[in-house]
Structure 1
């Protein structure tokens, strides 16, 4: 299901291992307005003025749409931790969608900051991933459980780098064996007397 929702951000053969979302409190901050001003009033008014139901239905449907848009704005503001690297997806409204990618071998460092009483109490903070040599950063503000996300990224980075190192080692070994075989075939290595 997760791969389906985020498939347009993935390359062929790429798999999602984990997703880091903004904290649920941020979702509540985003949806309180649609809930308070667009969903509750039509339901309450319906009890007192039922003859206004067509207008209230339209009001309610606008509220549901607004609520859904705010939910998706929160849901698609996340980090995808894949088998190849990190993908940062930022959504600000319906038609404003940004995506940045850093592959594991290009990650310079991962850090997080938890500042304030409420973030410390509810365990959320800002997560920063630095790209090697480019001066580019990926930020996820108000990430839920940033320490777990930090550890998850480091775990998959280590796994990726070990796999890449082994693959590179095997490729190098194959190239050297081929070079030695070619050299031996051409009569190299025989001493002239």
Structure 2
């Protein structure tokens, strides 16, 4: 995991239940955002190169169309900045919150659309991990798929760091929840019999 558990005990989120403790806040692995930023860096490099080469290569045209040149250069820079902002917002606000009671999936789509869904541990039927390729293996990131019981609904954690530890924690929390439910059921049966 990327952060210690003590940090998350101080956190809270909208819709948090009474007695619910945050165990982990999981985001995609840093390599995922690095790959997404490569085109932004390339376009930024091209922008700087154009700012240097175009005035040097075409000085008379630039003298006549200075305002247009700077307008186009500024527009391109704003486009680069906006693209970088969209990538960062998507990375930072896409989050999986693992609590002692449930898994909360917050998926940001653009700037103004957010999907929030939750999955209780008692409905977890299967948890699988997929780490495919040399880089995911070396950098220890992959996908986790959580399937619910009785439906074809899946929660997919994409490109998360340390997927095997997260999978183990989800399975442990699911077993703990099932054991608590079984104990409560046994107590209810005993109370009815007496």
1:31 alignment partner in structure 2? 37
Which secondary structure does the structure 2 equivalent of 1:156 belong to?
Answer: helix
Number of aligned residue pairs: 174
Which secondary structure does the structure 2 equivalent of 1:112 belong to?
Answer: strand
TM-score by length of 1: 0.69
2:94 alignment partner in structure 1? 77
1:132 aligns with 2:137: no
Q: Deviations over 1:55-85 (max 9, x none)?
A: 7788766655543331120122232111211
Aligned equivalents of 2:9 and 2:51: distance in 1? 41
Contact 1:81 1:87 (C-alpha < 8 Å) held by counterparts: yes
Contiguous gaps of at least 5 residues in structure 2: 1-6, 56-65
Q: Deviations over 1:26-56 (max 9, x none)?
A: 011222333443x66777889999x99x977
State how 1:3-42 maps to structure 2 within 5 Å.
7-8=13-14, 10-13=15-18, 14-37=20-43
Contact 1:85 1:157 (C-alpha < 8 Å) held by counterparts: no
2:131 alignment partner in structure 1? 114
State the 1:158 CA deviation. 2.7
State how 1:1-193 maps to structure 2 within 5 Å.
7-8=13-14, 10-13=15-18, 14-37=20-43, 63-170=80-187, 172=188, 175-176=191-192, 180=194
1:188 alignment partner in structure 2? none
> Pairwise CA RMSD of aligned residues?
3.5
TM-score by length of 2: 0.69
Contact 2:8 2:23 (C-alpha < 8 Å) held by counterparts: no
Q: Deviations over 1:72-130 (max 9, x none)?
A: 20122232111211122222321332222210000001111111122112111111000
Contiguous gaps of at least 5 residues in structure 1: 181-193
Contact 1:30 1:71 (C-alpha < 8 Å) held by counterparts: no
